[in-house]
Amino acid sequence: MKKMLIHGGKKLSGTVVIGGAKNSTVALIPAAILSRTPVTLESVPLIQDVYNLMDILSEMNVASDFNDCVLHIDPTHIQNVPLPNGKIKSLRASYYFMGALLGRFGEAVVGLPGGDDIGPRPIDQHIKGFEALGATVTKEHGAIKIVAPKEGLHGARIFLDMVSVGATINVILAAVTATGRTVIENAAKEPEIIDLATYLNNMGAQVRGAGTDVIRIEGVPELAAHNAHTIIPDRIEAGTYLAMAAAIGDGVQVKNIISEHLDAFLAKLEEMGVVMDVGEDSIFVYPAGDLKMVQIKTMPYPGFATDLQQPITPLLLKAEGEGIIVDTIYPKRVRHIPELERMGADITVENDVIILHHAAHLQGTEVTAEEIRGGASLMIAGLMADGETVITKVENILRGYDRVIMKLRGLGAEVELLDD
């Protein structure tokens, strides 16, 4: 286990370049096994989730190599092996091997996924989707076994009971090579879903409507990659650095941004009084003056992202008045709150509502990153705080934030990784 040591209180300035989106990458890597030819991904973030997915690929005899943000995956010698345990448990998105293996082999045995402990994360909608395509789904010793009928999967109309990124992607992965037409209604509209559809369509798939709540898929017999795919910028990483820049910046440029992907978040920063220059693919954040307190309610895209409620929380502590955060996606995603409280924040949770007030200053101490975005929240708080902050369980941050120590140092932060 590693710790992050932060000497807080130093203003940050300079430029930070955002990496490829984690939540695209972790879908695109499993999706690569649908290709009959080698696949190249560009702008891949250096995060632990990628290395864990590469290990899972190697269990299936799929070779991969990762250098300079370029990931080559060769699925031409793939073997269909059961994946009940091991690295599957190390991340949430390993469940995309369910849809991808089902699409490629008509069969998948995949352990129940791990990932962030942010409250209940059922996968009933994924299963409902697979069953609608004709598959039989059973549970076997903590793993899910999914088997297509003899004649293969068939297209279907699937209305998702709730908007789910994971279920939308898993159904797409299974349906792209099913016979006939699949229509997903009440689909998630996240930019990462458009990225996946672009990637699959370049391999010969026919996915239409990604980015809207109705996705139509005409099944094709097989897929083959012919060009490299460049992953979209990570809007959550971008939001994290923007919040950090507003909280403790002395002029920070955040590059490689698609600002339209951050509309709800940028609107909140503006409402708070953060001054920014929004350019074509970068945003400059000016040093903050007096900030206005706001209320935040997380919603499916294009609403305010649940993954950004924790990173923006330390910034809210700088504003006067009472602030309220309601996470409608993951109401129990509050494990950073007691940690922030120990750093001196006036912050509580009542009936799943986070209530906070202005904090004149935060004090460094030892805190725990119980999950990725909670960890990001503590990282920003540590940079704002007086004295030294030690963040334990920092693996939860490193699994999803590209070269975070290097990027923070590039902005002038005093931060280092220590072995436990």
Ligand X SMILES: C=C(OP(=O)(O)O)C(=O)O
Question: How many whole angstroms separate alpha carbon 250 and alpha carbon 288?
Answer: 8
Task: Measure CA of the first residue to CA of the last residue in the chain; give whole Å.
Answer: 6
- Only one of the segments 37-45, 159-167, 220-228, 255-263 lies at the binding site for ligand UD1 (rule: CB under 6 A); that segment is 159-167
Cα 386–388–392 angle (5° rounding)?
A: 130
- Element spanning 350, H or E: strand 346-350
Of residues 353-412, which lie at the interface with ligand X (CB under 6 A)?
372-373, 400
Q: What are the structure tokens assigned to 103, written together?
A: 């699409």
Query: In terms of DSSP H, where are the helices of 114-223?
Result: 124-132, 165-175, 191-202
Encoded one letter per residue, x for contact with ligand X by CB under 6 A and - for no contact, window 302-341 reads -----x----------------------------------
Question: How many whole angstroms separate alpha carbon 281 and alpha carbon 319?
Answer: 28
Nearer to ligand UD1, 2 or 128 (CB): 128
State in angstroms the smallest separation of the CB of 93 from ligand X. 5
- Give which of 288, 246, 281, 249 is closest to 262, Cα–Cα: 281
- Element spanning 185, H or E: strand 181-185
Tell whether residue 126 is a contact of ligand UD1 (CB under 6 A). Answer: yes
Burial classification of residue 226, based on how many CB atoms lie within 10 Å of its CB (0-12 exposed, 13-18 middle, 19 or more buried): exposed
Tell whether residue 239 is a contact of ligand X (CB under 6 A). Answer: no
- Only one of the segments 40-48, 63-71, 142-150, 158-166 lies at the binding site for ligand UD1 (rule: CB under 6 A); that segment is 158-166
Name the binder of 39 from ligand X, ligand UD1, none, CB < 5-8 A by kind.
Answer: none
| Residue 277 is among the residues annotated as catalytic for this protein | no
Tell whether residue 89 is a contact of ligand UD1 (CB under 6 A). Answer: no
Do 113 and 86 form a contact (C-beta atoms < 8 A)? no
DSSP 391-409: EE-THHHHTTSTTHHHHHH
Tell whether residue 154 is a contact of ligand X (CB under 6 A). Answer: no
**List 34, 44, 50, 93, residue binding ligand UD1 (CB under 6 A):** 93
Residue 295 known to bind ligand: no
Question: How many whole angstroms separate alpha carbon 205 and alpha carbon 181?
Answer: 12
Encoded one letter per residue, x for contact with ligand UD1 by CB under 6 A and - for no contact, window 294-323 reads ------------xx----------------
- Only one of the segments 116-124, 133-141, 263-271, 281-289 lies at the binding site for ligand UD1 (rule: CB under 6 A); that segment is 116-124
Torsion of CA 371, 373, 378, 384, to 10 degrees: 170
Tell whether residue 146 is a contact of ligand X (CB under 6 A). Answer: no
Do 399 and 375 form a contact (C-beta atoms < 8 A)? no
Encoded one letter per residue, x for contact with ligand UD1 by CB under 6 A and - for no contact, window 321-350 reads --------xx--------------------
Q: Which residues contact 140 (CB under 8 A, 6 or more apart)?
A: 84, 109
- Only one of the segments 111-119, 122-130, 137-145, 190-198 lies at the binding site for ligand X (rule: CB under 6 A); that segment is 111-119
Name the binder of 122 from ligand UD1, ligand X, none, CB < 5-8 A by kind.
Answer: ligand UD1
Question: How many whole angstroms separate alpha carbon 324 and alpha carbon 2?
Answer: 32
**List 99, 166, 233, 382, residue binding ligand UD1 (CB under 6 A):** 166
Active centre residues (catalytic): 116
Annotated binding site for phosphoenolpyruvate: 22-23
Give me the residues that bind ligand UD1 (CB under 6 A), please. 23, 26, 92-93, 120-126, 162, 164-167, 188, 306-307, 329-330
